[in-house]
Amino acid sequence: MKIILTIIASSIVLLIHTSSIYAALLTFDDQVNGTSSYSYDGDDDGNDDVVFSTTSPMGFSSVGPGPNMSFINEPGIVGMTNLNPDLRVDFTYGGVDNLTFSFAISFTMVENQYGVNFTIYDSNDVILATTHQTAGFTKPDGQNNSDYPEAVVSLDFSGTASYALFDFDSEAYAYIIDNFTGTFGSKEVVSNEVKSRTASIPTLTDYGIILLFLCLSFAGLSRIRTNRVKPCEL
């Protein structure tokens, strides 16, 4: 009986963990050259979940550093580094937990010197988290350098994000970002409070996972009992 209760308790933990994970990946494959904003509606409800914007009169480009890169798979969002900020992203329904993206810069003379300041704010303009990440050459084929310095930014934070700012070092001249990942949107979790409520509502997929887990666990119990009987353009 103790083993059965342990299995049931583990299943409930599995249910809560599974139900609370909602994330989106933006690859910018449909980015249009010359536009000053890029929006994403993950659940097709007619409301943009995420909006990237620039004040550059030239707008964004999508042509990047080419295929010889580890973290960039163009197209992406490409812009100049002479603005302040260079790029802004707004979360219509808020964002939680973590934001991650890859980037590259066009400065090739040195590595690990220039990069991006990335700062996340709440709706009251309070900083939730900030980091500076420099870019370096990688080896996409295991031997030769990438064509441009690149890196991945992954920033954890508490609270609910309203927007975030990208400020690339001006010496970098141009930047590209790609593979932007986060927990945001009207279908995703929008606050830690909502996250707790969402975790208590199982879906059919969650029930399926639990059923499989229980079946495998009970199959293991059967074996135990049997054994007891038998023992830019950049």
Both 119 and 146 in one domain: the answer is yes
pLDDT tens digits, 180-202 = 999 887 655 443 333 333 333 33
CATH of the domain at 141: 2.60.120
25 or 128: which leads in pLDDT: 128
Q: Is residue 45 over pLDDT 80?
A: no
Both 71 and 82 in one domain: the answer is yes
Distance of alpha carbon 203 from alpha carbon 42, whole angstroms:
19
Give pLDDT, residue 184: 84
Distance of alpha carbon 178 from alpha carbon 28, whole angstroms:
7
The mean pLDDT value of the chain amounts to 76
Q: What is the pTM of this model?
A: 0.71
Both 138 and 214 in one domain: the answer is no
Both 6 and 100 in one domain: the answer is no
Q: Is residue 127 over pLDDT 90?
A: yes
Q: What is the residue range of 34's domain?
A: 23-188
**Measured CA distances, 19 to 6, 78, 172, 200, 217 (Å):** 20, 35, 41, 8, 21
192 or 135: which leads in pLDDT: 135
Give backbone dihedrals phi and psi of 14, rounded to 5 degrees, phi first: -60, -40
Both 102 and 3 in one domain: the answer is no
Both 35 and 11 in one domain: the answer is no
Both 93 and 163 in one domain: the answer is yes
